[in-house]
Amino acid sequence: MITRDLPPEIVMVEAFLRRDVTFDGVFVAGVHTTGIFCRPTCPAKKALPENLSFFSTPRDALHSGYRPCQRCRPLESSGTPPQWLRPLLAEVEVDPSRRWTDEDVRSKGLSPERVRRWFKAHHGMTFQAFHRARRLGAALGQVKTGRSVSRAAFEAGYDSLSGFQEAFRRYFGDSPTHLDDTTVVCVSRITTPLGPMLVGATDDALCLLEFVDRRMLPAQIKRIRSRLRAVFVPDTNTIVRGVEQEVAAYFAGSLRAFDSPLEPCGTDFQVSVWESLGQIPYGETRSYADVARSVGRPAAVRAVGSANGMNAIAVIVPCHRVVGADGKLVGYGGGLWRKQRLLDLEREVAGI
């Protein structure tokens, strides 16, 4: 059984057999012989192609009588921390300054290697490195607000000022006192039905919201770092938490307009294009030519397309609402399948 808006069956079979992460969110696969359905990335032994059915959503698979796999958990948003890890993460939140060792992890009944693999896969660094960077970022924030370096070091869990200074230089490339005019950008991952997203925000505004598998993400981070003279630290703040709530409400269909303050990092022309995108009504689309006319540059269709592609605040700055002159989907950094899903969601909610 093949549902609508899916890739060709041969493409899905190949993606499922090689556990292709880029198809996570595009489809789920039902296995006839077991009666379960899985993500494309499921680590379980793969079924034979003739025993597979494909569905665009877990809901479709459930309605067809399949049960969710207990290993890959297709009903959870991709990137959601697994159940076995959640007690450790909750304990970390109670005391973010605590310095964790492998023995500490083992004392919680967990394998340090297993925890390390999950953090490397989802955060690009080990568990200890993640929380060390978080402690250092919190310390930098304290120094920037007037706290003494020694006090910040102590509250970050360091026993000596020299050890703190050395760790700080290794991570940020300079000492705390030399980074007074930098901007701290807190970065966190949030889960969505279309895959995990990276959120980056200063204390005042959102500057980054992008799917973590987008190829341009490193370039976007580099651009933001340069324009804001920013340092990125794994942490959360009021803006990040607000964005997470708004994005969840958006995907649930209960929010159409976002209120989070934005700080887009681009040229004057790019910012004008992004502001124009924000004027496209929920559930509707515009062509690149339409956007070019709206910013007073009717001949700059290519430049508008380029600016659209440089948008680093996905979903909230709705570059997914721009389509080709013929109405076809073109040019979305997060993947055309995501663009289609976003438009489908908005049209369904808006009753279009």
Backbone angles phi and psi of 156, in degrees to 5: -85, 0
Q: Which two tokens stand for residue 283?
A: 């559930």
Contact (Cβ atoms closer than 8 angstroms) between residue 11 and residue 39: no
Q: CA–CA distance from 199 to each of 8, 86, 327 (Å)?
A: 33, 20, 30
Catalytic residues: 38, 319
What count of Cα atoms within 13 Å lies in the side-chain half-sphere of residue 324?
8
Backbone angles phi and psi of 338, in degrees to 5: -70, -40
Closest CA relative to residue 253, chosen from 176, 348, 331: 348
Q: Which two tokens stand for residue 327?
A: 């109405």
Q: Which two tokens stand for residue 120?
A: 């490397």
Say if strands 52-55 and 28-31 run parallel, antiparallel, or are unpaired.
Answer: antiparallel
Measured distance CA(127)–CA(134) in Å, rounded: 11
